[in-house]
Amino acid sequence: MIDASFLSWPFFEDRHRRFAEVLASWAEKEVSLVVDHHDVDASCRRLVRRLGEGGWLKAVVPQAYGGLYPAFDVRTLCLARETLAYRDGLADFAFAMQGLGTGPITLFGSEELKSRYLPPVARGEAIAAFALSEPEAGSDVAAMSTTATPDGPDHVRLDGAKTWISNGGIADHYVVFARSGEAPGAKGLSAYVVDAETPGLTVQERIDVIAPHPLATLRFEGCRLPLSQRVGGPGEGFKVAMGTLDVFRSTVGAAALGFARRAMDEALSHASSRKLFGAPLSDLQMTQGALADMATGVDAAALLVYRAAWTKDQGAERVTREAAMAKMQATETAQAVIDRAMQIFGGLGVTKGVKVEELYREIRALRIYEGATEVQKIVIARELLKMLEGQRAATSRTAAE
């Protein structure tokens, strides 16, 4: 990475700086040995195993279950995703899904679920997944229609479909959200851990996307589960989903930063070596303007990502607004930075096999998954309006006293 000066920012401690440096050199050596973009299933299985053997997946679970720290250290998660994404999109994906796929268990699961599911994930011996989206409910989570119906005193049965499920088809277990019916809308959902081999769960279809990774539609037909598989209380599924996304949305921003920094570095080295009109491309002021805009955008996005991560690590109960800002700004900026890098590369930039072409495909989904940019705008505006409401209520209380 040409400019790693952000590591000296006060958001970080020395343990973070060491983590990022050692992971960067590990990834430089290891990732290309195991990644084959033409076989994403095998690549992700190998990546999870290698990340586990390297000890890197300890960052996604708490210390008591084989992890690094007593609770999530969001700065470590962000640095891991940024560093891995800089190297390769699939490496970031494999790491991120181990975290998102067990995040609900870490944050809301019973002791029994934690001890059963977290240690193998930290060792890279089990693959995790998070199944929230449905064909008719992606952004509008409360509209989901997969049902969890009581089946005897201690069981539920799941019926419905989940789609765009990352690691669908290769995961060993899924955290699945379903309508359990305690109340209408957001208050009537619950979350369950479903083992991949549970009868009634099938992979209906694999989905191919512009930056391929394991992705599928899952079908649940009379999929019977003991209630002990529920994550959190009955009707708490929406809170479980949103609480998990509050942690992981900042990390999506971090992955976008990794892609953007790589595009920046590719553009810088190309612009300084490619000759045009008898001089390096980087001598042209238009190129310099582009590089300056790219670098400034990257730093601004990084400040928002690490502000959100630091705020959570300082003990904030919710970082809904900060995480939404970080995710939105970093993914949108990364898309623009990569696009400009491609422009600097010219015809070479759109050529298959060239890194900026890969980055151009890799970044696109990040503006959509874990809450599209438009959803982040709704979340940010609602949080601001809530603050105003709180302030008005406080003012009228003071006036009444």
Q: Min. distance of Cβ 368 from ligand COS in angstroms?
A: 8
Check binding of 141 to ligand COS (CB under 6 A): yes
Site string for ligand COS, 169-198 (x = CB under 6 A): -----------------x------------
DSSP three-state, residue 134: strand
- CA–CA distance, 113 with 107 (Å, rounded to integer): 11
Residues in the chain: 401
Which member of 236, 322, 358, 370 is catalytic? 370
Q: Which is nearer to ligand COS, 90 or 365 (CB)?
A: 365
Q: Would you list the DSSP string of 144-179?
A: ---EEEE-SSSEEEEEEEEEEEETTTT-SEEEEEEE
Of 39-47, 133-141, 306-314, 350-358, the window that binds ligand COS (rule: CB under 6 A) is 133-141
| Cβ-based neighbour number of residue 233 at 10 Å | 13
Among residues 7, 22, 242, 303, which is the contact residue for ligand COS, using CB under 6 A? 242
Q: Which is nearer to ligand COS, 363 or 375 (CB)?
A: 375
Among residues 31, 128, 193, 375, which is the contact residue for ligand COS, using CB under 6 A? 375
The two structure tokens encoding residue 170 = 């290769």
Q: In degrees, to the nearest 5, what angle opens at C-alpha 164 toward C-alphas 263 and 66?
A: 75
Nearest to 78 by CA among 318, 311, 336: 311
Check binding of 142 to ligand COS (CB under 6 A): yes
The answer to whether the beta carbons of residues 131 and 203 sit under 8 Å apart is no
Q: Min. distance of Cβ 367 from ligand COS in angstroms?
A: 12
Phi, psi of 116 (to 5 degrees): -80, -40
- CA–CA distance, 354 with 85 (Å, rounded to integer): 16
Q: Which is nearer to ligand COS, 78 or 175 (CB)?
A: 175
Q: Min. distance of Cβ 36 from ligand COS in angstroms?
A: 25
Among residues 52, 188, 243, 297, which is the contact residue for ligand COS, using CB under 6 A? 243
H or E element at residue 195: strand 189-195
Nearest to 215 by CA among 365, 103, 85, 50: 365
What single-letter amino acid sits at 170?
A: I
Check binding of 274 to ligand COS (CB under 6 A): no
Check binding of 389 to ligand COS (CB under 6 A): no
Among residues 76, 83, 102, 133, which is the contact residue for ligand COS, using CB under 6 A? 133
User: Can 82 be counted among the known catalytic residues?
Assistant: no
Check binding of 231 to ligand COS (CB under 6 A): no
Instruction: Name the residues that contact ligand COS, by CB under 6 A.
Output: 132-133, 138-142, 186, 238-239, 242-243, 245-246, 318, 320, 369-371, 375, 378-379
